[in-house]
């Protein structure tokens, strides 16, 4: 390694110094760092600091270990760093001087226990205090004292400004400085260390060191010198105070071993670094998934809390009961008479009822076309003007005539009417209340809320003749159940995985659960024991729903407009009646009425795992980002690999290179073909997107079958065409894969900020693509076929089929839902499947089937390594095949 006079030198010096640290010093440093890591990571299960500190009160025979562990444990990161920096060089020096075994014996034994006992004695019995101590600084002072005494023998005094100071006292000065700088440190502890150090330095503890003969015998028997790296033997002792200057000879330690920590330039050169990325990206995926699985634990999730103080949920008396029950029965009678009638007839009947309450009403027509069906209807809505407001804000109460399962909302509609009549009697509303009665749960609310925000397409959706102010919140009632109920199910997923502010859900939980004593369920978890598995299930169900991005109730359409909304759905057999449900809604409305500004305090990105437990975005986002990062890592690795000459990968002789290998020539990359292939595949993705979103439902199943068949053949056909026309080189295949993975990683990390669950799901389903590469083994055909089959098993059509089978709905139904979501609500999940996942899958399949020659027989006239290539290529082509 040439010594260059550049600024990098000092860094290299540090590297070389660290690399030359002897064994015991390394162990101590590692132990210190590990303990700190344990203290941080396992903080909640095992308090390392309390376990290992030298606490005078805790010390007994059972806890004598403390006298050994306390120097390895630190109070915080700063403490750790300061102590490491001070102890490491001195310990290094000591070990070089005395050998590893002696150091081990001394520091495990007397040099930590003696100060400890001294300290305990002084602290407990002399001073009568009980403060626990920890940290390696005690060793620092001990070693400094030894050093100072030795130094004193050579140079007894040093002179500053004419004053001479005894050298042995310098550690004392250091002690005083430490006391001043960090008053928290235990001066007594340091003093004990110093005392033992002085004694030791004066040679009074010599007898404690193990005799050299024994050491030599042990060393010889166990061949420690040969087995342990960085071991300082008894005979190797330097007997010098500084040993060898770093960087002066590096012959002893092979450079390559340390290349990983050497400068970045060397790092780039090391061929082994290129083998790392697959493992790294696998690690990313595993950690990402493990992270997700950890979330339901108490340590990672948080209890919910109401963040917006203005909400005051459950702080008011609710008066909805008594005579309102008669009103409810009357309305229900009217509504029951309307079952089976057409939408217009229903509205004709209901409008006079609402008008009769003294409210302004209006109607809105809408027509949507999706999957060959027409979703048309007429919304009816009424506005209760706030007695105390200025018509700038409004709250919405939605009651759809049919819920998402197409059951008639028999109790919900009369309950909404009753509530509106009841609300009309109160004078405390400061926000307008809008009652929206829609014919269905998806298209109707969507049309209404689009038109309310003037974001509608006037050819399909009529404009609203009547409007109020800014919508502050919306509650939808889905009460199709006839009998009395037990609990309330809160549906909160919006379109495209957007969520209402957590405060809204918390308020409902608080009002229903806390005030009314009604149970609350989420994500169709009718029973929830708040254990790990139930929490995980709730969370995964939520993620799946958000990932699919489909509307889950009348509230879903509101959320994209930043209107926080939930659907309340009573369920179960219990003794709660419609009035209880009404009181929950009344309470929630009262809370929303209190709002001074739009809900913003609490979280918009969260995963709920129990009604009172959630994780926020900061905690869960890393898992999706890690999964997305795995693609980027592989893309970068493939790019780097594609730029290296084939011989470079082959020249991995285990020679002891004391000099750096000559720089590997970077091969010019041929970018046009790979870019063209990726662009072509990416543009092909418009075809399935268009087809599946525009085909009528009747032909969806045949279309899907045809597509699956074509899709099965497509990779082979494309790869065949590619081979025939362009005969791509292995480098070009690598680049194709690199670009497609780069795109995938990029799309997914962008998506993770918008719809975490969808990004994670897509990322996990696409994860195998990272590891699929062209086959290089001897049995290429078999390997290719196996890889192709595996890839097909994880391709979008296969997963769609599996999903359809799992949901027992049939492929056509799944595709229809997707098309309806796409056309009515603007769900972008189909876009992600067909334009993000499918192209990446197709590109990888083409690469896997590609007949790229072995690394070097590229046949394109590059000519490098054509002669010697074959043999090397076979042995070293280490691209993983799924």
Partner 1 sequence: MDGTKVAPGRTAGLYAGAAVLRLAIFTLLPGLANLLTGRVEVSTPVTSFKRQGLFLYNRNVSPYDGGVYHQAPLFLPLFSLLPSFSSFPIFTYLLYIVVDLLSASALWRIADSGEAGSSALFTSPRREKRWSGFGIAALFLFNPFTVATCIGRSTSVFTTCAILHAIAKAVSGAPFGAMVALSFASYLSMYPLLLLPPLILLCYDRQCPERAINSGFRFAATCVATVAGVLAVLFQLSYFITGSWEFLPSTYGVQLTLSDLTPNVGLWWYFFIEMFDSFRSFFLAVFWLHLSSYVGGLTLRIRRQPLVVLTLLLGIFAIFKPYPSISDTSLFLAMVPLYRHVFPLMRYTFVIAAVILYAAFLGPAFYHLWIYAGSGNANFFYAITLVWGLGQSLLVCDLMFAVLRDEWEVERPEMVGKEIRQI
Residue numbers annotated as active site: 137, 190
For 631, counting Cβ atoms within 10 Å of its Cβ (0-12 exposed, 13-18 middle, 19+ buried), the class is: buried
Choose the stretch contacting partner 1; rule: CB under 8 A; options: 14-22, 296-304, 711-719, 738-746: 738-746
In the numeric block, which tokens belong to residue 548?
Answer: 């699919």
**Which of 7/183 has CB closer to partner 1?**
7
Shortest distance, position 823 Cβ to partner 1, whole Å: 14
Strand partners of residue 477 = 399, 568
Residue 6 binds partner 1 (CB under 8 A)? yes
- As a whole number of Å, the CA-based R_g of the chain is 37
Contact window for partner 1 (CB under 8 A) among 138-146, 333-341, 645-653, 749-757: 749-757
Shortest distance in whole angstroms from residue 752 CB to partner 1: 9
Q: Given candidates 165, 217, 319, 672, which one binds partner 1 under the rule CB under 8 A?
A: 672
Nearer to partner 1, 49 or 456 (CB): 456
Do 77 and 184 form a contact (C-beta atoms < 8 A)?
A: no
- Segment contacting partner 1 by CB under 8 A, of 133-141, 416-424, 578-586, 631-639: 631-639
Strand blocks (E) in 96-142? none
Helix (H) or strand (E) holding 211, with range, is: none
One residue of 107, 589, 747, 756 binding partner 1 per CB under 8 A: 747
Taking the complex as a whole, the smallest distance from the CB of residue 743 to partner 1 amounts, in Å, to 8
CA distance 381 to 351: 8
Question: Rounded to the nearest whole angstrom, what is the least distance from the CB of residue 671 to partner 1 in the complex?
Answer: 9
For partner 1, give the closer residue by CB, 502 or 815.
Answer: 502
Q: Whose Cβ is closer to partner 1: residue 360's or residue 562's?
A: 562
- Of residues 251 through 270, those in contact with partner 1 by CB under 8 A are 265
Q: Is 8 in the site for partner 1 (CB under 8 A)?
A: yes
Can you tell me which residue has the tokens 């690394």?
855
Q: How far apart are CA 506 and CA 345, in angstroms?
A: 38
Continuous segment of H or E residues that includes residue 176? helix 170-181
Q: Which of 7, 162, 226, 340 binds partner 1 (CB under 8 A)?
A: 7
Least distance in angstroms from the C-beta of 370 to partner 1: 18
Q: Give the interface segment with partner 1, choosing from 52-60, 440-448, 747-755, 784-792 (CB under 8 A).
A: 747-755
Residues 264-303 that bind partner 1 (CB under 8 A): 265
- Of 668, 724, 806, 867, the one binding partner 1 by CB under 8 A: 668
Does the footprint of partner 1 cover residue 875 (CB under 8 A)?
Answer: no
Number of residues that bind partner 1 (CB under 8 A): 29
663 binds partner 1 (CB under 8 A): yes
Interface stretch with partner 1, choices 137-145, 291-299, 660-668, 708-716 (CB under 8 A):
660-668
Q: Is 91 exposed, middle or buried (0-12, 13-18, 19+ CB in 10 A)?
A: buried
- Strand stretches in 28-144, DSSP E: none
Q: Rounded to an integer, what distance in angstroms lies between the CA atom of residue 310 and that of residue 313?
A: 9
For residue 538, what is the DSSP state?
H
Strands across the sheet containing 613-616: 302-303, 613-616, 606-610
- Which member of 666, 683, 777, 868 binds partner 1 (CB under 8 A)? 666
Distance of alpha carbon 456 from alpha carbon 446, whole angstroms: 9
Binding mask 595-624 for partner 1 (x = CB under 8 A): ---x-x---xx-------------------
Closer to partner 1 at the Cβ: 316 or 636?
Answer: 636
Interface with partner 1, residue 536, by CB under 8 A: no
Token pair belonging to 672: 């046009």
- Of 69 and 501, the one with the shorter C-beta distance to partner 1 is 501
Q: Which of 742, 758, 814, 815 binds partner 1 (CB under 8 A)?
A: 742
The one among 278, 560, 774, 797 contacting partner 1 by CB under 8 A: 560
**Cβ 501 to partner 1, closest distance in Å?**
9
Per CB under 8 A, the list member of 686, 710, 717, 754 interacting with partner 1 is: 754
Which residue's CB is nearer to partner 1, number 158 or number 672? 672
Q: Beta strands of 137-286 (E only): which ranges?
A: 157-160, 163-166
> Minimal CA–CA distance to 456: which of 320, 338, 599, 561?
561
**Residue 754 CB, nearest approach to partner 1 (Å):** 6
- In DSSP terms, 396 is beta-bridged to 434, 474
CB of residue 439 to partner 1, shortest distance in Å: 28
Q: Which among 28-36, 354-362, 401-409, 740-748 is the span making contact with partner 1, rule CB under 8 A?
A: 740-748
Contact between 148 and 165 under an 8 Å Cβ cutoff? The reply is no
Find the shortest distance in angstroms from Cβ 443 to partner 1. Answer: 21
Which residue number, 140 or 499, has a Cβ lying nearer to partner 1?
499
At 520, give phi and psi (nearest 5°): -130, 135
Of the residues 17, 51, 426, 639, which one makes contact with partner 1 according to CB under 8 A: 639
Which listed range, 6-14, 87-95, 483-491, 846-854, lies at the site for partner 1 (CB under 8 A)?
6-14
DSSP states of 822-867: IIII---HHHHIIIIIHHHHHHHHHHHH--PPSTT---SS--TTTT
Nearer to partner 1, 29 or 262 (CB): 262
**CA gap 459, 469 in Å, rounded:** 25
Give Cα 535 distance to the centre of its chain: 17
Mark residues 208-247: x for contact with partner 1 by CB under 8 A, - for none. ----------------------------------------
Q: Where are the alpha helices (DSSP H) in 455-612?
A: 502-509, 532-548, 578-594
Shortest Å, Cβ 304 to partner 1: 18
By CB under 8 A, residue 573 contacts partner 1? no
Of 750, 782, 807, 868, the one binding partner 1 (CB under 8 A) is 750
Angle of helix 137-154 relative to helix 110-120, nearest 10 degrees, comes to 110
Is residue 498 close enough to count as binding partner 1 by CB under 8 A? yes
Please state the closest distance from residue 639 (CB atom) to partner 1, in A: 5
Q: Does 676 bind partner 1 (CB under 8 A)?
A: no
7 vs 340 by CB, closer to partner 1? 7
Q: Residue 355 phi/psi, 5° resolution?
A: -60, -35
Nearer to partner 1, 334 or 670 (CB): 670
CA distance 168 to 432: 83
Least separation in angstroms between residue 631's CB and partner 1 is 11
How many angstroms separate the CA atoms of 357 and 484, rounded? 27
Q: CB neighbours of 114 closer than 8 A, spacing ≥ 6? A: 196, 205
Nearest Cα residue to 229 out of 34, 84, 89, 24: 24
Helix locations, 433-482, DSSP H: 443-452
User: Is 304 or 632 the residue whose CB approaches partner 1 more closely?
Assistant: 632
Long-range Cβ contact pairs of 622-625 (< 8 A, separation 24 or more):
622/288, 622/291, 623/287, 623/288, 623/289, 623/291, 623/292, 623/760, 624/288, 624/748, 624/752, 624/756, 624/759, 624/760, 624/763, 625/288, 625/749, 625/752
Q: Which of 398, 500, 410 minimizes the C-alpha distance to 444?
A: 398
Cα dihedral 568, 571, 573, 577 in deg (nearest 10): 20
5 binds partner 1 (CB under 8 A): no
Stretch that binds partner 1, among 3-11, 167-175, 477-485, 863-871 (CB under 8 A): 3-11
Nearer to partner 1, 25 or 749 (CB): 749
Minimum distance from CB of 742 to partner 1 (Å)? Answer: 6
Q: Which residues bind partner 1 (CB under 8 A)?
A: 6-8, 265, 498, 560, 562, 598, 600, 604-605, 632, 635-636, 639, 663, 665-666, 668, 672, 742-743, 746-747, 749-751, 753-754
């Amino acid at each position: 390694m040439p010594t260059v006079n550049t600024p990098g030198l000092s860094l290299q010096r540090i590297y070389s110094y660290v690399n030359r640290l002897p064994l015991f010093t390394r162990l101590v440093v590692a132990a210190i760092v590990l303990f700190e890591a344990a203290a941080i990571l396992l903080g909640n299960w095992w308090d390392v600091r309390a376990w290992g500190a030298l606490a005078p009160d805790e010390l007994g025979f059972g806890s004598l270990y403390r006298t050994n562990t306390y120097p390895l444990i630190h109070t915080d990161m700063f403490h750790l760093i300061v102590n490491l920096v001070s102890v490491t060089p001195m310990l290094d020096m000591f070990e070089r001087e005395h050998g590893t075994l002696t150091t081990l014996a001394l520091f495990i034994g007397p040099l930590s226990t003696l100060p400890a006992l001294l300290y305990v004695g002084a602290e407990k019995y002399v001073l009568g205090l009980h403060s626990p101590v920890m940290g390696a600084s005690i060793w620092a002072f001990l070693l400094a004292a030894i050093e100072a005494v030795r130094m004193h023998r050579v140079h007894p005094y040093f002179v500053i400004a004419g004053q001479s100071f005894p050298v042995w006292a310098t550690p004392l000065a250091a002690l005083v400085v430490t006391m001043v700088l960090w008053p928290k440190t235990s001066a007594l502890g340091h003093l004990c260390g110093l005392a033992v150090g002085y004694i030791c330095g004066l040679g009074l503890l010599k007898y404690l060191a193990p005799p050299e003969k024994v050491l030599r015998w042990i060393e010889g028997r166990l061949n420690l010198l040969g087995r342990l790296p960085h071991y300082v033997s008894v005979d190797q002792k330097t007997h010098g105070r500084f040993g060898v200057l770093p960087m002066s000879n590096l012959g002893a330690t092979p450079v390559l071993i340390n290349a990983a920590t050497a400068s970045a330039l060397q790092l780039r050169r090391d061929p082994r670094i290129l083998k790392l990325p697959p493992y790294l990206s696998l690690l990313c995926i595993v950690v990402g998934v493990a992270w997700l699985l950890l979330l339901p634990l108490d340590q990672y999730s948080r209890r919910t809390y109401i963040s917006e103080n203005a909400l005051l949920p459950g702080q008011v008396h609710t008066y909805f009961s008594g005579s309102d029950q008669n009103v409810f029965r009357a309305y229900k009678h009217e509504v029951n008479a309307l079952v089976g009638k057409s939408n217009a007839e229903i509205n004709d009947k209901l409008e006079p009822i609402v008008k009769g309450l003294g409210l302004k009403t209006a109607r809105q027509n809408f027509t949507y076309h999706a999957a060959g069906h027409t979703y048309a209807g007429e919304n009816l809505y009424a506005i209760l003007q706030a007695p105390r407001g200025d018509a700038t804000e409004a709250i919405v109460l939605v009651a759809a005539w049919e819920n998402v399962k197409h059951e008639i909302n028999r109790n919900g509609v009369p309950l909404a009417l009753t509530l509106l009549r009841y609300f009309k009697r109160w004078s405390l509303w400061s926000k307008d209340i809008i009652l929206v009665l829609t014919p269905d749960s998806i298209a109707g609310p969507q049309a209404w809320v689009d038109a309310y925000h003037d974001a509608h397409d006037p050819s399909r959706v009529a404009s609203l003749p009547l409007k109020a102010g800014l919508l502050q919140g919306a509650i939808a009632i889905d009460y199709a159940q006839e009998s009395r109920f037990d609990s309330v199910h809160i549906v909160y997923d919006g379109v495209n995985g957007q969520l209402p502010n957590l405060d809204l859900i918390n308020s409902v939980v608080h009002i229903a659960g806390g005030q009314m004593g009604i149970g609350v369920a989420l994500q169709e978890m009718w029973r929830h024991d708040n254990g790990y598995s139930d929490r995980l299930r709730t969370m995964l169900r939520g993620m799946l729903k958000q990932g699919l991005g489909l509307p889950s109730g009348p509230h879903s359409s509101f959320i994209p407009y930043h209107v926080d909304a939930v659907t309340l759905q009573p369920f179960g057999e219990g003794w709660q009646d419609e009035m209880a449900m009404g009181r929950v809604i009344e309470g929630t409305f009262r809370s929303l009425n209190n709002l001074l500004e739009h809900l913003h305090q609490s979280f918009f990105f969260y995963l709920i795992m129990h009604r009172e437990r959630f994780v926020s975005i900061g905690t869960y986002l890393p898992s999706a980002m890690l999964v997305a990062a795995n693609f980027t890592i592989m893309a970068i690795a493939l790019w780097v690999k594609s730029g290296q000459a084939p011989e470079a990968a082959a020249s991995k002789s285990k020679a002891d290179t004391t000099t750096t290998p000559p720089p590997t020539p970077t091969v010019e990359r041929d970018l046009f073909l790979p870019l063209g292939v990726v662009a072509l595949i990416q543009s092909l993705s418009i075809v399935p997107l268009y087809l599946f979103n525009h085909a009528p439902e009747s032909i969806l199943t045949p279309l899907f079958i045809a597509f699956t068949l074509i899709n099965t053949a497509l990779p082979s056909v494309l790869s065949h065409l590619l081979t025939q026309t362009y005969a791509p080189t292995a480098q070009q295949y690598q680049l194709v894969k690199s670009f497609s993975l780069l795109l995938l990683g990029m799309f997914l990390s962008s998506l993770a900020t918008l719809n975490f669950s969808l990004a994670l799901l897509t990322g996990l389903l696409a994860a195998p693509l990272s590891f699929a590469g062209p086959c290089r083994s001897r049995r290429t055909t078999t390997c290719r076929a196996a890889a192709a089959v595996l890839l097909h098993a994880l391709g979008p059509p296969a997963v769609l089929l599996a999903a359809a089978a799992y949901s027992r709905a049939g492929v056509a139904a799944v595709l229809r839902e997707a098309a309806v979501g796409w056309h009515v609500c603007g769900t972008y999940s189909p876009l992600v499947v067909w334009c993000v996942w499918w192209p990446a899958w197709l590109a990888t399949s083409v690469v896997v089937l590609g007949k790229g020659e072995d690394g070097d027989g590229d046949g394109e006239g590059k000519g490098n390594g054509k002669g010697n290539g074959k043999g090397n290529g076979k042995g070293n082509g280490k691209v993983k095949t799924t």
